[in-house]
């Protein structure tokens, strides 16, 4: 099969998936799609994508099947269910799960795929909706090197920094490292803005100054201003981040690691979910500091 003729299936058309699938379609690949809410596929169908009625039907029609769904339980269902992707996929096809999920589950899926003559890669991404729109996501993969090379041209339509990190599960472990770094950085950004406000400074001006120095980061410069403006529209949902941190904490415990920064971030973000803010963006962590200040005042 030549790269030009590869048909691609895409399952999961959320905030990021819509853009990722759109890049594949725009590059001329036949695109088969499925989403639990069918209306989210309408725009892609209008541009030439083919709607399928189940994940298994997508896999049956595609040379490469890509998923980016919500939780590990969703991943397990769409891949390992009775009429799921592995049961219905074309022999020799490559399956790519781009959901942030469990490393152990990634290994389980890879073994089940191999038993049916398929290849499965775990390929979580980082970059949020901004990276998805621009086609510049960081994509970290685990799995077979030959399968990786085969699908790399399709991955390059969605990502700017793409790396095979090791065997099945290695992509998910790398994403856990990424989320751990983000968790403590988000705490630091929210605390920096809180301190600037309490000291009587203009927090936006502070961000402009420190954002060019050693404190500079994507989160400080990209999400810091949104915290200042109390713009909590989602680029990545709080409840999904809580899921990711919970996986990371579980893996850390298994590895014998104590990660206090991650534990604190998980606690504060969990309270946001409990308070009804799970559908907001991760910058909504600033709400927790606003609440602390209100209590102190």
pLDDT for 133-162, tens place per residue?
Answer: 999 999 999 999 999 999 999 999 999 999
| pLDDT one-digit tens code per residue, 173-232 | 999 999 999 999 999 999 999 999 999 999 999 999 999 999 999 999 999 999 999 999
Is the pLDDT assigned to residue 3 strictly greater than 50? no
Residue 293 pLDDT grade (very low, low, confident, very high; cuts 50, 70, 90): low
* Residues linked to residue 126 through DSSP beta bridges, in sequence order: 138
DSSP E strand stretches across 90-215: 94-97, 119-122, 125-126, 137-142, 159-166
Mean predicted lDDT score pLDDT of the chain: 95
Beta bridge partners of 161: 138
- 221-267 per-position pLDDT tens digit: 999 999 999 999 998 899 999 999 999 999 999 999 999 999 999 99
Bridge partners, 119 (sequence order): 94
Q: Mark whether 175 is an active-site residue.
A: yes
Q: 230: which DSSP letter?
A: T
- CB 159 within 8 Å of CB 137: yes
Whole-number Cα distances in Å, 206 to 193, 215, 227, 293: 8, 11, 13, 19
Report the alpha-carbon distance of residue 262 to residue 266 in Å, rounded: 6
Confidence (pLDDT) at 34: 98
Assign 96 to helix, strand or coil. Answer: strand
Q: Tell me, what's the pLDDT at 292? A: 57
**32 CB contacts (<8 Å, ≥6 apart)?**
7, 8, 9, 10, 49, 50, 51, 52, 57, 58, 61, 62
Question: Span 65-86, mean pLDDT?
Answer: 96
Beta-carbon count within 10 A of 37 CB: 8
User: 220-237: buried (b, 16+ CB within 10 Å) or exposed (e) per residue?
Assistant: bbebbbbbbeeebebbbb
Please provide residue 277's backbone torsions phi and psi, each rounded to the nearest 5 degrees: -110, 20
d(CA 269, CA 196): 22
What is the per-residue pLDDT for 164? 98
Residues 6+ apart with CB under 8 A from 96: 64, 65, 66, 67, 120, 121, 123, 151, 155
Q: Is residue 54 helix, strand or coil?
A: coil
pTM recorded for the entire structure: 0.92
Q: In which residue are the tokens 């919970």 written?
A: 246
Query: Could you give the CA distance from residue 176 to residue 112 in angstroms, rounded to a whole number?
Result: 23
Closest CA to 219 of 132, 109, 127: 127
End-to-end Cα, the chain, rounded Å: 66
8 A C-beta contact, residue 237 and residue 286: no
Which of 88, 108, 133, 175 is labelled catalytic? 175
The residue assigned the tokens 């390059």 is 156
Q: Kindly state the percentage of the chain with pLDDT values over 70.
A: 96
Task: Say whether pLDDT at 2 is over 50.
Answer: no
Q: Where are the beta strands (DSSP E) in 98-154?
A: 119-122, 125-126, 137-142
Using 50, 70 and 90 to split pLDDT, how confident is the model at 36? very high
């Amino acid at each position: 099969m030549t790269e030009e003729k590869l048909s691609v299936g895409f399952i999961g058309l959320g905030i990021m998936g819509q853009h990722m699938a759109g890049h594949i379609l725009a590059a001329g690949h036949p695109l088969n799609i499925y989403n639990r809410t069918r209306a989210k596929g309408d725009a892609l169908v209008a541009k030439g994508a083919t709607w399928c009625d189940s994940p298994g039907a997508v896999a049956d029609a595609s040379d490469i099947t890509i998923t980016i769904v919500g939780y590990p339980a969703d991943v397990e269902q769409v891949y390992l269910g009775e009429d799921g992707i592995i049961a219905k996929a074309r022999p020799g096809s490559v399956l790519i799960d781009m959901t942030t999920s469990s490393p152990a589950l990634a290994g389980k899926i890879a073994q089940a795929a191999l038993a049916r003559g398929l290849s499965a890669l775990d390929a979580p991404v980082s970059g949020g909706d901004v990276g998805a729109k621009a086609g510049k996501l960081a994509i970290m993969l685990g799995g077979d090197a030959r399968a990786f090379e085969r699908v790399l041209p399709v991955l390059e339509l969605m990502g700017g920094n793409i790396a095979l990190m090791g065997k099945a599960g290695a992509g998910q472990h790398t994403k856990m490292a990424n989320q751990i770094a983000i968790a403590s950085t988000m705490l630091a950004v929210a605390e920096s803005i809180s301190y600037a406000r309490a000291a009587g400074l203009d927090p936006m001006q502070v961000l402009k100054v420190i954002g060019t120095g050693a404190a500079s980061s994507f989160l400080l410069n990209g999400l810091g201003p949104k915290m200042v403006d109390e713009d909590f529209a989602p680029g990545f949902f709080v409840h999904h981040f809580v899921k990711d941190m919970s996986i990371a904490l579980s893996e850390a415990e298994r590895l014998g690691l104590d990660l206090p920064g991650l534990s604190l971030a998980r606690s504060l973000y969990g309270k946001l979910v409990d308070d009804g803010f799970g559908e907001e963006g991760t910058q909504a962590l600033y709400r927790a500091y606003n609440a602390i200040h209100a209590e102190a005042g």
